[in-house]
Amino acid sequence: MTYRKIREWPNEELKIKSANIDILKDREAINDLLDTFKVVGGYGLSAPQIGLHVRAIVINPSALKKDDSLNNEELMLNPVIIDRKGTQVFSEACFSLPNLSLDIERSSEVLVEWKNIDGELKRQWFSDYSSACVQHEIDHLDGVLTIDRISQLRRSMIIKKIKKKNLEVIKASKRPSDERSRQKSLRTRKKNRIKRKANKR
């Protein structure tokens, strides 16, 4: 099993548009995507999120439909949305934008065409949150994240919050080290004072 680290925003790799996948030549990439998805779980994952710029996604129908009788995962190679119906706002989270959920307007139903691992052409309508999940993962193949689908003003506010939170995390991680340095400095000064007193005697 090969687990690949998920790329997080603002990693520039997430902006790269992926190329069509070759089922025979890119079998290792397919296996890495499936292996990583088994580790992280969730509703879906795309190859670009783990640094592989090929058009492959995997979704979890059982998680989406809350039905354990469905297959645990659906691998979709070179998926294409060929028809759409209606619009709906979905609350979406993303592995590449941890601890952030955004309301995104998408098509409420989509007709998707893709190939499975055996090269067979499949076609299916997805609705409700299944539709949002498939659209979300296909967006990744085109270098688009949820944060790219909101207004510029809202995006700027969220970026400020993320940067502030990251700064707080960095400061928090440095505190123990800073405290150790301070204590070490105090001990050194104390030793120096003792030495000076001893020399005066």
Residues 139 and 52 in one domain: yes
Please check whether residues 118 and 178 belong to one and the same domain: no
Q: Is there a single domain that holds both residue 174 and residue 137?
A: no
Contact by Cβ (8 Å): 107, 86: yes
My answer on whether 146 and 156 are in the same domain is no
Residue 17 lies in a domain: yes
- Considering the domain boundaries, does residue 5 fall inside one? no
pLDDT tens figures, 83-123: 999 999 999 999 999 989 999 999 999 999 999 999 999 99
Query: Domains in the chain: how many in total?
Result: 2
Q: Which residues are catalytic?
A: 137
Same domain flag for 114 and 127: yes
Q: Is the pTM of this model over 0.85?
A: no
**Could you list the residue range(s) of the whole structural domain that residue 189 is in?**
152-201
Which positions ≥6 away from 48 have C-beta within 8 Å? 7, 13, 14, 16, 18, 140, 141, 143
For the chain, give the secondary structure using H, E and C: CCCCCCCCCCCHHHHCCCECCCCCCCHHHHHHHHHHHHHHCCCEEEHHHHCCCECEEEECHHHHHCCCCCCCCEEEEEEEEEEEECCEEEEEEECCEEEEEEEEEECCEEEEEEECCCCCEEEEEEEHHHHHHHHHHHHHHCCCCHHHHCCHHHHHHHHHHHHHHHHHHHHHHHHHHHHHHHHHHHHHHHHHHHHHHHHHC
Residue 33 has pLDDT above 70, yes or no: yes
Give the model confidence (pLDDT) of 116-148 as tens digits: 999 999 999 999 899 999 999 999 999 999 999
Does residue 132 fall inside a structural domain? yes
Residues shown for the chain: 201
Report percent pLDDT > 90 for the chain.
68
Instruction: Looking at the structure, tell me whether residues 17 and 102 fall in a common domain.
Output: yes
